[in-house]
């Protein structure tokens, strides 16, 4: 998913380096040379459980994602949808 302003790419990845565990959400920032190296989006979002389905509201003001408890052996609890104001992700401070 690309942010409405076109500056950020968010996606989920399973068991990726630097993740919090399980499936986590990562972000890459658009630069003059292409996209930056992907980084975990925020400790506010990524946990030891499963985070997925990152989305921005049409105006970019809100960020949505889903989370399910990891029960082990690729089994999960019920998925819940969460949202927060995008400004709290501090995306502009992501290192290139």
Condensed to tens digits (0 to 9), the pLDDT of residues 47-62 reads 999 999 999 999 999 9
User: Can you give the residue ranges of every domain in the chain?
Assistant: 8-93
Q: Residue 1, SS3?
A: coil
What pLDDT score was predicted for residue 15? Answer: 86
Is the pLDDT at 77 greater than 80? The verdict is yes
- Residue with structure tokens 């400004």? 87
pTM for the model: 0.91
Q: Residue 56: in which H helix or E strand, if any?
A: strand 50-56
Distance (Å, whole) CA 9 – CA 19: 16
| pLDDT tens profile 27-50 | 999 999 999 999 999 989 999 999
Alpha helices in the chain (DSSP H): none
Q: Is 33 exposed, middle or buried (0-12, 13-18, 19+ CB in 10 A)?
A: exposed
What pLDDT score was predicted for residue 5? Answer: 96
What pLDDT score was predicted for residue 66? Answer: 97
Is the pLDDT at 96 greater than 80? The verdict is no
What pLDDT score was predicted for residue 90? Answer: 93
């Amino acid at each position: 998913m690309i942010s409405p302003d076109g500056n950020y790419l968010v996606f989920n990845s399973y068991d990726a380096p630097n993740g919090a565990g399980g499936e986590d959400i990562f972000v890459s920032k658009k630069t003059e040379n292409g996209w930056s190296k992907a980084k975990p989006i925020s400790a506010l979002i990524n946990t030891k459980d499963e985070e997925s389905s990152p989305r921005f509201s049409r105006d970019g003001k809100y960020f949505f994602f889903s989370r399910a408890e990891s029960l082990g052996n690729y089994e999960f609890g019920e998925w819940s949808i969460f949202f927060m104001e995008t400004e709290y992700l501090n995306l502009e401070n992501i290192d290139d």
